[in-house]
Amino acid sequence: MGQAIQRAAKPPRVWLQMSTATLYAHRLDAPNDEATGIIGGNEPGVPTYWKRSIDIAQAWERTLAEADTPHTRKVALRTAMVMSPDKEGIFDVLLGLTRRGLGGPAGSGRQYVSWIHGQDFVRAVQLLLEREDLDGPVNLAAPNPLPQRELMAKLREAAHVSVGLPAAKWMLEVGAFFMRTDTELLLKSRRVVPGRLLDAGFTFEYPDWGTAVTNLVERWRAGGGPVRS
């Protein structure tokens, strides 16, 4: 991509690269913003293979930064879980588990979940397209991440489901094997906040999970529909 932009007679004004918020360290003590956040890979007490996704994310961003594109502004979107009512998205999966009575704590449930409502994601991307003064890493995440236990409790409340069975770590490992995914997605504490978006004056329509999940469940029941700006 960088080579194509470099060779273009009319290079694009901006290059948005989809990075990931999983680049930050697993932590419970404090949030990670772009200025003071800790990059992961060397945390004590976590599986060594969690470092793989961080290495990949760092390679993406390093390649973006090294690309010689003097006429193209570059932004790395460190994106949290994008919550929308669309089929087969992360929210659809979580709601499906909840409706089957499986929407309880995963492991300890203390790990933080960073997320962003789909409509806020679209609006944030529009801002980054327009703001010529913003480049480099930008966290696309709602300002109020919350522990997984609380996130699922609010989802059960919005879905009118009273039971949410907990899942031990070994259960998650079995489920992840059959779903061809990884327990890192559930057990890593991603406490990511949008420092640069807030400094740029961005206002979230859904800053809190309670209002976001109510909207998402209502739209899911209505059949989803396109994300609007």
Q: Which pair of structure tokens corresponds to residue 118? A: 């789909």
Alpha helical stretches, state H, 132-188: 148-159, 169-179, 184-187
Which is more confidently placed, 118 or 225?
Answer: 118
Q: Is the pLDDT of residue 225 over 60?
A: no
pLDDT tens-digit profile of 87-128?
989 999 999 999 999 999 998 999 999 999 999 999 999 999
Query: In the structure, what pLDDT confidence band is assigned to residue 11 with cuts at 50, 70 and 90?
Result: very high
Average pLDDT value for the chain: 91
* Alpha carbon distance 17, 64 (integer Å): 8
Average pLDDT over residues 199-208: 98
Q: Quick check: 61 pLDDT over 70?
A: yes
pLDDT, residue 170, reads: 46
Closest C-alpha to 193, from 214, 207, 205, 211: 207
| pTM for the structure as a whole | 0.91
Predicted pLDDT of residue 85 = 95
